[in-house]
Homo-oligomer: A and B are copies of this chain.
Amino acid sequence: MSPKPLIDRTSYEPAYSQLVNIIRRQIAQGEFPPGGRLPSESQLCKQHGVSPMTVRRAINLLVEQGVVDTAQGKGTFVKPLELGMFSFQLNELQDIFRDREKTRVKLLEVRIVTADQVIAQRLSVSEGDRVIYIGRLISSSDEPLLHHQQYLIYDPSLPIVESEMDVTSLGGLLSGSGETSFKKGLLSIGVTSLGAREAAYLRGEPGSPAFRLEHTFFDFNDRRVSWGWFTFRGDRFNISTRVGLW
């Protein structure tokens, strides 16, 4: 028998977490090869001296991490790497807004415009209805990073909300510290070429490739309230992720 790493009951790290790390290490060291079967849950209970619920919790975490798959009545199996499942996060976007010292939001343009066909469809209003257009430039340490354009539902009974126009509404949305009143949203990442104006704003080459992050947000009554997109230079942002066992 190999000297199994045991659960340290005096540690501040909970038992289920220790068990996750133990099993991950065993898989990483090839003790359980891809496609292979893990010991049964009752065996793991005995081996590590923990209760069934604790083993279950550890295995559930490994399933969420994409490390193993469970099959009722058959067992728990080590999952090979899958590419399509990998998820990417916009961490750098979040980081920009984390330190408010460096981040500046410059209001480029605010207008009331009439909705064309595209805007009308995205905001679920009628063509010709009036909507608010806002153009902004977000900089960090005097380096322009994001160009943001969005259309908002225009409610004539309300004043144009200032809070929608300053850094708070954007920063809150991106960093989570704010008080966004959106219930849900659709996000989509695309590619585009910098137009002349965007290139000037972002100090990039016109025609050079850039990311386009499109968003649609809904309020708590499921009404569309905002449609717009961020444009940012591809050479300024890193959308990356680690997969497998590190």
Q: Which residues of A contact B (CB under 8 A)?
A: 28-30, 34-35, 53, 64, 79-91, 93-95, 97, 172-176, 178-193, 207-211, 215, 217-218, 220, 234, 238-246
Is B84 a contact of A234 with CB atoms below 8 Å?
Answer: no
The 8 Å CB contact of A244, one of B85, B97, B175, B184, is B184
**Chain B neighbourhood of A208, CB < 8 A:** 193
Query: How many copies of the shown chain assemble into the complex?
Result: 2
Decide: A191 and B211 in contact? CB cutoff 8 A: yes
Residue from the list B84, B185, B239, B242 in contact with A184, Cβ < 8 A: B242
Closest to A238 in B: B188
C-alpha gap A234/B240 in the complex (Å): 18
Cross-chain contact B80 with A185 (CB below 8 angstroms): no
Contact B242 A84 (CB under 8 A): no
For the complex of A and B, 10 pairs with smallest distance between CB atoms: A84-B94, A184-B244, A191-B234, A82-B176, A87-B87, A188-B240, A191-B209, A209-B209, A189-B239, A83-B174
Complex-state Cα separation, A87 to B66, whole angstroms? 15
Residue with the greatest number of chain B CB neighbours at <10 A, chosen from A89, A93, A172, A244: A244
Of A95, A179, A209, the most chain B CB neighbours within 10 A belong to A209
Which residue from chain B places its CB closest to the CB of A53 in the assembled complex? Answer: B53
Q: Within 8 Å CB of A218, what residues of B?
A: 244
From known contacts A89-B85, A174-B82, infer whether A192 and B179 are also in contact, taking CB-CB under 8 Å: no
Chain B nearest CB, measured from A61 CB (Å): 10
Chain B residue at smallest Cβ distance from A221: B30
Please indicate which of the listed interface residues A180, A181, A191, A217 has the most CB atoms of chain B within 10 Å of its own CB: A191
A192/B209 contact (C-beta < 8 A), A80-B180, A182-B244 known: yes
Whether the pair B187, A86 counts as a contact (CB closer than 8 A) is yes
Q: In the complex, are the beta carbons of B192 and A245 less than 8 A apart?
A: no
Known: A82-B173, A83-B173. A34 touches B88 (CB 8 A): no
| Distance (whole angstroms) from the CB of A80 to the closest CB of chain B | 4
Known: A86-B89, A89-B87. A80 touches B184 (CB 8 A): no
Known: A239-B189, A243-B187. A84 touches B93 (CB 8 A): yes
Contacts of A94 in B (CB 8 A): 82-85
- Shortest Cβ distance from A243 into B: residue: B185
A-B contact pairs, 7 of them (CB 8 A): A80-B176, A83-B90, A84-B175, A85-B90, A86-B89, A189-B239, A193-B209
